[in-house]
Structures are given as C-alpha cells and as structure tokens.
Structure 1
C-alpha cells in the first residue's frame, strides 16, 4: 500500500483529502506546512505528496523547490484554490508533477494520483511507455512496433526526462543541469540542438511531440 503525505493547513480540506485518499486505499499522513513535511520526510519514506500552496512558515512553492533542489523526484500533486494560469506556471516551474484547483472532483483526484504513482514506478524500473512507444533506459532505445531507434546518451536522457512527465514544463536550466550537470558550461544552444535532433528523429511518431513553451522551456505532449 502506498504512503501519501498530505500537506494542507486548512483543517476541513485536510480532513476531506485524508478521507478521500483513505477510501481510495492509501495510507495517509497529514501535516500542516512545508516545514512539518520536511521533518516527517526525514523520518519516513513517502510515495507521493499532495500539496497545498498557501501555507504558513513554508508554502507549497518553497517546499517543492527545496525537494527538487536536492534531486528528490517524489511525485507531487498541487491542490490549490489558486486557479490563475500564472500560478499554474509557477507551480510547474517549482517542480510539481500535476496541478488541480479547489474545489476538486474526488474521483479525478484519485485518477491523477494513480497515474502519477504508475509513472513513478515506470521510471524506477527504467522503462517508460507512452501510447505504443517504449523507452528503455538501460538500452538507450526507443521502440514502436518493429521500429527501434538507438539514441546517443545525452539525447536519450533528455527525451526520457521529458517523457517521464507528459505535459509537465521543464525549464531550460533544469534540463541542462539534469542532463549535463550543475557545473556544466554548455549554453542553451546545445540544448536546442539536442531538442531539434529529437524532433527530427520522431517527427512522424504518432504518440508524442516535443513542444516549446515560449519563455519557459519544453514539454512532451501526447498527440491527439
């Protein structure tokens, strides 16, 4: 059974989230803010975080950034009353994997959590599947049907990172640090070259496309 950390300072919302998740079959652990969350995470491993944004002492943005700054890839679902597109962009830039606005549909919440957990498990197993396309981390290959493409290491890692969270926006800086290292001296031109090579190789792939989000970075989107 999965352990979910609920970070929410509003008592009624926290109680509702805990009830919904418990009914969904999860072990639920509530805390009231980001500092309490970090303290609990030192004591116990969690499989996913459900995170409010506006909280005292340490808000959701700050907690998300703190976790991502130390390369903690735990799935994070932000659930907040802030529904402005700017708030959503800020949430994804901070490192959240998904974003829902209050009041939330209980069944949709469970569906999204299930999808995030399934995706995290796939990443830990070093294989990703999107539609009929499979990425094998150990073999550096992308396979769809009988067609298999062996990619150079950096190109594969870049594509794997983007496809690990479809529709999530990754900033250029995040991608450069993740793929080439924090102390890298490469510039955004190198990243653009790798993105363009991937686009050329998978231009006809019906399962996904690499999208430029102007002023922010890149994401993988499912083709309709």
Structure 2
C-alpha cells in the first residue's frame, strides 16, 4: 500500500475499456478519476491537480493533443502518457513535441502500463533525492546548479560535491577531513588549500540568498547555516 497516493486522471471516450483499466490501476492502489472527453478532462485537471494524465488522442469536445497543449502552457510538472491507436510516426512526434512523457500504442497490456507508471514515479523519487532546499535557494546536484529568485548559477563538480555534504547536514559541523577525503580522496596540504578556495567560491555563489551562510570552524570544518 502506498503511503502517498498517486492521483491519475484517465481521459478516453472508450468508456468500457477505460473503466476496466481504471480497475486495474486501482488494484495497484492508484487513485484514478475518469473523464470521457477532453473538455471534461480539462475541467477535472483544474479541480484535482493529478500527478499523471493518461490521455487518448481521438476524443470529442477537445482532442488529446489540444488538451496536452493547454496543460503544458502552464504546467511542465504533471506527467502525460498518450494512450492511443494513432501510431503513425507524425502522431508520435506530435505527442513528444507537446512534452508527453510517453506514447503508448493501443492495444497494450495493462501490466505494461502499470510497470511504466511505477518506473516513472520511482525515477522521480530518485531525482528528488538530488534536490535540496537551502534557505530560499534550490540546489540541484544532478544538474550542478543553484537557483535563487529565478537566477540560476552553475557549479563545478567539486563545488557540487562539497555542497551536497553541507546540504545533507544543515546546521551541523562537517569536518574538513571528511570533505577532503570524499571530494579529493586525501587531506594533503594542497587539497586543503583548494578546499578553502572552493568554499570562497560557494560563498560568493550563495550570497544572493541572505538566509544562507557557510560558517568556518577553525581547523575543524564547516557549517551550512540557515537563518530566517
């Protein structure tokens, strides 16, 4: 049983098969809402804010491509899987050009779809572990960048590794030797001097966010401190 239910909006005018698919998904503990046409799906999307939309292309009132385009004008976070019998290359390219996350041709096995959904959300969970909120700054260690107030700055590989260690222990002392051994492999004098330089760079990069400070504890290490 999932502790955090994943909400799915299924939009397809094939009522019979859609209700069967809905039962399959609910048996896997997903929370599923059903819309028989694009316009209803558009209205339900605004009310429910789903995590995933399973979207047929050929629907009345508003087709799947039109609905995806509307959603993507303001929302790049929700996952969109196209489930459709339109399998031509041009249709598949159209789906991906609208930032669809998958394009699954009909007919398909429900187990295949469930496996794809599980894999996608597992990957999201893994990716989330690489994002840190540092004060008002978002640190993405996968992309080696920090973002504050819409301003994004890139980090070097070593700056990223150092900041990960600090971000994992906010408010706590991270020993110099631990940083040196993890990032450089040893605590030689030359590497110790390099660490000092990289900390200076990180302080400069994080300076836009006045709630964030890297505090030096002489001969011991560093504390990433967040103030209100």
With normalisation by structure 1, the TM-score equals 0.56
Residue in structure 2 matched with residue 62 of structure 1 by the alignment: 66
CA distance in 2, matches of 1:137, 1:117: 23
* 1:72 Cα deviation after fit: 3.7
Deviations 1:158-198 (A, max 9, x none): xxxxxxxxxxxxxxxxxxxxxxxxxxxxxxxxxxxxxxxxx
CA distance in 2, matches of 1:55, 1:33: 5
Deviations 1:69-88 (A, max 9, x none): 12342001111111111110
Mapping for residues 143-182 of structure 1, pairs under 5 Å: none
From the CA coordinates, give the structure whose radius of gyration is larger: 2
Residue in structure 2 matched with residue 76 of structure 1 by the alignment: 80
* 1:105 Cα deviation after fit: 1.6
> Given the alignment, which residue of 84, 104, 108 partners 2:108?
104
* 1:61 Cα deviation after fit: 0.2
Whether the 8 Å CA contact 1:77–1:113 is kept in 2: the answer is no
CA distance in 2, matches of 1:100, 1:112: 10
Structure 1 portions without partners, runs of 5+: 128-132, 151-224
> Given the alignment, which residue of 87, 90, 115 partners 2:91?
87
Aligned length, in residue pairs: 142
Q: Which runs of 4+ in 1 moved over 6 A?
A: none
CA distance in 1, matches of 2:122, 2:35: 24
Structural RMSD (CA): 2.7
Structure 2 portions without partners, runs of 5+: 132-140, 147-152, 161-228
With normalisation by structure 2, the TM-score equals 0.55
CA distance in 1, matches of 2:41, 2:82: 14
Mapping for residues 118-157 of structure 1, pairs under 5 Å: 118-122=122-126, 127=131, 134-138=142-146, 140=154
Whether the 8 Å CA contact 2:9–2:32 is kept in 1: the answer is yes
Whether the 8 Å CA contact 1:75–1:117 is kept in 2: the answer is no
Whether the 8 Å CA contact 1:48–1:74 is kept in 2: the answer is yes
Residue in structure 2 matched with residue 3 of structure 1 by the alignment: 7
Residue in structure 1 matched with residue 224 of structure 2 by the alignment: none
Deviations 1:6-59 (A, max 9, x none): 001111221122012111210110001221112112222211111101000101
CA distance in 2, matches of 1:142, 1:47: 33
3-state SS in 1 of match to 2:33: strand
Whether the 8 Å CA contact 2:130–2:142 is kept in 1: the answer is no
